[in-house]
Structure 1
Amino acid sequence: MPEIRPIKDLRNTNEISELCHERNEPVYITKNGYGHLVVMSMETYKEKLAKAELYEKLAEAEMELNNKDELLDAEVVFERVKKKYGKE
């Protein structure tokens, strides 16, 4: 269940900080009953950002797969690499 707090709770920064670190989830801040801010720990932010980047890359790869004209055969690619850089 998401943690939702009113903006006045930001006065107690230590409590919000501890909450963010304990839950490893964003804390949603409301203002006048409406969503206003999202606060999270750096670790959670990095994790969420990494997931977003991964999903973006997966979506890009899926688009490439759907455009089969641009796909290359692995054996052809390896042969080109061997020719360019030599056998090792």
Structure 2
Amino acid sequence: MPLIRPISDLRNHFAEISKVIHETHEPIFLTKNGYGDMVVMSMESYEKKMFEIELYHRLMKGESLLDKNKK
């Protein structure tokens, strides 16, 4: 279940939010006036996501080249 907190908690409870993010390795969704506004995640989680995205792009490119060569 996603963690959702008001954006004011970022200012008022920064240390707690940082601790939760690093312990759970999950992002926290921040709301402003009851609506989604931002997502906060650890640097480690962010870098892992970026690596996965790059890997998926390379796999898609490789599959596309294989399909092209089969024709």
Residue aligning to 2:37? 36
Letter in 2 for 1:3: L
Quote the residue 1:52 is aligned against: 53
Matched letter for residue 56 of structure 2? Y
List aligned pairs for 1:1-88, cutoff 5 A. Answer: 1-11=1-11, 12-68=13-69
Distance in 1, matches of 2:68 and 2:34, equals 46
Which ranges in structure 1 are unaligned for 5 or more consecutive residues? Answer: 71-88
Q: With structure 2 as the length reference, what TM-score do the two structures score?
A: 0.86
Give the number of aligned pairs: 70
* CA–CA separation in structure 1 for the residues paired with 2:67 and 2:35: 41
Q: Which has the higher contact order (CA 8 A, sep 6+)?
A: 2
Q: Which runs of 5 or more residues in structure 2 are unaligned? A: none
SS at match of 1:38: strand
Return the index of the structure with the highest Cα Rg.
Answer: 1
Note the alpha carbon deviations across 1:22-57, whole angstroms, 9 max, x for none: 110111111112211111111111111111111111
TM-score by length of 1: 0.71
Q: Percent identity?
A: 51
Higher strand proportion: 2
How many Å apart are 1:69 and its aligned residue? Answer: 6.1
